[in-house]
Amino acid sequence: MATTRTRVLILCTGNSARSQMAEGLLRARGGDRFEVYSAGSRPAAQVHPGAVQAMAEIGLDISGQHPKPLSQFLGQEFDYVLTVCNHAAETCPFFPGRAERYHRDFTDPPAAPPEQQAATFRRVRDELAAWLDELFFAAGR
């Protein structure tokens, strides 16, 4: 008997850092329980190297992931849509449908001063992990 996996879409503007790290974290933590995607309203050309490095530091390889446009997922059904940027009114995308929606603003690591970027990527990675644990893995979930 086939098990239905929980479909999750994680959205941000550039889909190069926060949403990519969240995708990698949820995919690793949730295993076969989840089908996880991320996308952006204005996707960057590549996943930010700082995101790849921060994830590698905890043993997760997201180097094979790539930014995707939100339009790629229009018309698909998701159980959850998560937004991880706070420019919601202007730049963080809205995804139509019946999915449960959760939003939390996370600092944009690439916007940090160069000397603080690595630490910011690590902090945001850890904040994302805690938030995803709270949403999907807390007792009773």
Give the active site residue among 92, 124, 128, 132.
92
Give the active site residue among 54, 55, 85, 128.
85
In terms of Cβ atoms closer than 10 Å to its own Cβ (0-12, 13-18, 19+), residue 81 is buried
Locate 36 and state its tokens: 């996880």
Active site annotation includes 85: yes
In terms of Cβ atoms closer than 10 Å to its own Cβ (0-12, 13-18, 19+), residue 60 is middle
Active site annotation includes 3: no
Give the active site residue among 10, 12, 26, 52.
12
Active site annotation includes 83: no
Q: Would you say 11 and 39 are in contact if contact means Cβ atoms under 8 Å apart?
A: yes
Locate 98 and state its tokens: 């019946």
Kindly list the catalytic residues. Answer: 12, 85, 92
